[in-house]
Amino acid sequence: KAILRGTLKDGLYQLLRTERDPCAYVSVKESWHRRLGHPNNKFLDRVLKSCNVKLSPSDHFNFCEACQYGKMHFLPFKTSSSHAKEIFELVHTDVWGPAPVTSPSGFKYYVHFLDDFSRFTWIYPLKHKSDTAQAFTQFKNMAENLFNKRIKTIQCDGGGEYKTVQNHAIEAGIQFRMSCPYTSQQNGRAERKHRHITEFSLTLLAQAKMPLHYWWEAFSTAVYLINRLPSLVTQNESPYSLLFRKEPDYNSLKPFGCAFYPCL
């Protein structure tokens, strides 16, 4: 077995020396990025430094395709600064439901209409989502007959129950605005009102120790009270006072669910 090879010259073998640069295993930064579960570069460098993992100065890693797919998210929506100047200039609406249980009257949904100027809320019970158009007609007639005002703009999401409402609105000369798909933020005021109503209503049911079966009674009471309570959004005024230009009467209020005795 040949161990070394050289050239014979003047009776001597001249061995050829092979120069080799010293080398060691250099870890690839991208490989460690994957091993550690795709952390950001700041924490990756900190871990590698604490473990004395040597990296080549030319080992630059700035892009990970898996991170782009797995960590994508919506950019935050800017807070809307627009505000209506008068009642019924802009009305937000949305449908809630189905309820976990059907009410004694057979209701499973409700639709609410929120006036952008006063923040006054109207709520209508629904047995089916398709009843939304009928509720809108009732609301529109109420605005025109009771307040002598015409609704100028309706803001809603892209739910199918609003297709018929859109047709009625266009016929009446009302501007109809629908939010883009999967962007509930564009109808944020109506969405937040759902939460406000729901939290208020569940608190009333808990206070009265009543079952969820009576959710509609609690929801309608909640909206009645919300309209008469001051709010920071309306500079400590109540929606009722902004809409009717007078203070609400609290003298007839009773705790929700309290016992009453009719006098015959």
Cβ atoms of 90 and 116 within 8 Å: the answer is yes
CATH 3.30.420.10 given to domain 91-244? yes
pLDDT per residue rounded down to tens, the chain (264 residues) = 777 777 888 878 787 766 666 555 445 788 888 888 888 888 888 888 888 877 777 777 778 888 888 888 766 656 666 788 999 999 999 999 999 999 999 999 999 999 999 999 999 999 999 999 999 999 999 999 999 999 999 999 888 889 999 999 999 999 999 886 667 666 778 889 999 999 999 999 999 999 999 999 999 999 999 999 999 888 899 999 999 999 999 998 999 998 888 888
Instruction: Give the pairing type, strands 12-15 and 121-126.
Output: unpaired
Burial (0-12, 13-18, 19+ Cβ within 10 Å), 198: middle
Q: Could you tell me the residue ranges of all domains in the chain?
A: 22-65, 91-244
Cα dihedral 64, 68, 70, 75, rounded to 10, equals 150
Asked whether the whole model's pTM tops 0.85, one would answer no
- 95 has which bridge partners? 111
Question: What's the DSSP call for residue 239?
Answer: H
Instruction: Give the pairing type, strands 12-15 and 6-9.
Output: antiparallel
